[in-house]
Structure 1
């Protein structure tokens, strides 16, 4: 969907890094929901990323995770897609499988299917998460089951950088609004996925391990607001 699988695959091949040190995630797009379409999407993604084979030197495939992008298509399509991911995992095509943008009702539907013999394990749940989008109920649901919570758009697309609370906290630690938001995400137990095309900002986004927000800071960032900057399929009732 983002047209970047081939580029990422080439970058990994040329990086010189041990493939077991790299974690690559891709998604099943909404238009590929359902068992057969998801099977085709998995194989297409692996071909695009150049990861459809095992490394002959190390015997290790890159740490690959495949997520269902959104809970669209209805129950039958959702569970069919999950069945295809379970089969892909058993075939060694991916190390872990998970979901993105699933509401609690979608998660419980999938959990019931798994427990009734559908197989697989939800390893990852990916959501838009930042102080101005309260998905605490979903995050707690996932974390209580040992599901890794990934936070996309953890910087709220930069729309909140002028918030007084970020300026106050940033001044306290001599950190940028982006660094404060990434640090908040880490302390919430999330895996933040900040995005930038600017080398200086990419570097800055990584410099968040030399400070820690105190309890008062975390409370200030507990806004209780629910304002997505992206789509919000978690509320889809189908």
Structure 2
């Protein structure tokens, strides 16, 4: 069962294959959601400064009955920060909001500030290297255990890899049936960079798609379970988001495999809806 499986990152740190995403869960509610998720078996959680719920996530973790060392916590820098001193302060501020001594994984949330995404060509190469330099220092200081990137294209990843001493452990990108960035995934894999799939359920858009439902019925699983298994079989870490206990349990209970032929067909399935970064 995938809920029992862990994956070793390129720095030797182990991480659960299935984690709970917290995007769009507000700070007041997320504390309860985290505790419920821990009770049903989740041990890894993904948040970000730009989600506005870090303090609630922290409270959910340190108010649980599980040891901190058994929880894997990921957060992300504010996308607007692209300088060394600003990054240092952002890391310390995040630790204060979490009320925790360390963060398991810290990511650059986006190579560009959100206001610039899909609008300008500037990839902020120098600013991302300043982010990375401060993150490397935080890693050496024990404030974080792993560092990586999110929403990075090949050129953005190459900028970090070619100009830094520490390689990203992950690139967190959108991957789901209907949206499989094969070239980027292969590029990262060849560098030993793990893919984390955010929005593996396509924000719920495809759960009623008749094509998805047909495959789900074939395997006697829900559409959500089919979509999660698809990403897991591509080798991704998955970050399904839910604040519903029944859905959390279902998303954690992936104990089947999609056939090679069906995987090949599902990889080719296209979705026409425009997606967004999270």
2:78 maps to 1:29: yes
What is the root-mean-square deviation of aligned Cα atoms in Å? 1.6
**2:108 and 2:148 in contact (8 A); partners too:** yes
Per-residue CA deviations over 1:190-237 (Å, capped at 9, x if unaligned) read: 00100011111111111112x1111122012112647552139xxxxx
Q: In structure 2, how many angstroms separate the alpha carbons of the residues matched to 1:198 and 1:16?
A: 20
Corresponding residue number in structure 1 for 2:68: 19
Corresponding residue number in structure 1 for 2:218: 172
**2:173 and 2:196 in contact (8 A); partners too:** yes
- Aligned residue pairs total 218
Corresponding residue number in structure 1 for 2:187: 141
Tell me the secondary structure at the aligned position of residue 15 of structure 1: coil
- Change in 2 beyond 3 A, CA 1:33/1:111: same
Corresponding residue number in structure 2 for 1:214: 259
1:65 alignment partner, one of 93, 105, 117: 105
Q: In structure 1, how many angstroms separate the alpha carbons of the residues matched to 2:200 and 2:270?
A: 15
- Change in 2 beyond 3 A, CA 1:228/1:99: farther
- Give the C-alpha shift of residue 109 in structure 1: 1.3
Per-residue CA deviations over 1:151-187 (Å, capped at 9, x if unaligned) read: 0000001111222321111111111111000000110
- Change in 2 beyond 3 A, CA 1:121/1:9: same
**1:70 and 1:100 in contact (8 A); partners too:** yes
TM-score w.r.t. length of structure 2: 0.75
Q: In structure 2, how many angstroms separate the alpha carbons of the residues matched to 1:19 and 1:101?
A: 28
Q: In structure 2, how many angstroms separate the alpha carbons of the residues matched to 1:28 and 1:198?
A: 27
1:161 alignment partner, one of 186, 204, 207: 207
Unpaired segments of 5 or more residues in structure 1?
Answer: 54-60, 233-238
Corresponding residue number in structure 2 for 1:50: 99
Q: In structure 2, how many angstroms separate the alpha carbons of the residues matched to 1:34 and 1:154?
A: 31
Q: In structure 1, how many angstroms separate the alpha carbons of the residues matched to 2:257 and 2:139?
A: 37
- Give the C-alpha shift of residue 65 in structure 1: 0.3
TM-score w.r.t. length of structure 1: 0.87
2:89 maps to 1:40: yes
**1:131 and 1:221 in contact (8 A); partners too:** yes
Unpaired segments of 5 or more residues in structure 2?
Answer: 1-49, 114-123
**2:160 and 2:167 in contact (8 A); partners too:** no
- Change in 2 beyond 3 A, CA 1:169/1:224: closer
Q: In structure 1, how many angstroms separate the alpha carbons of the residues matched to 2:143 and 2:55?
A: 17
Corresponding residue number in structure 2 for 1:185: 231
Q: In structure 1, how many angstroms separate the alpha carbons of the residues matched to 2:207 and 2:83?
A: 39
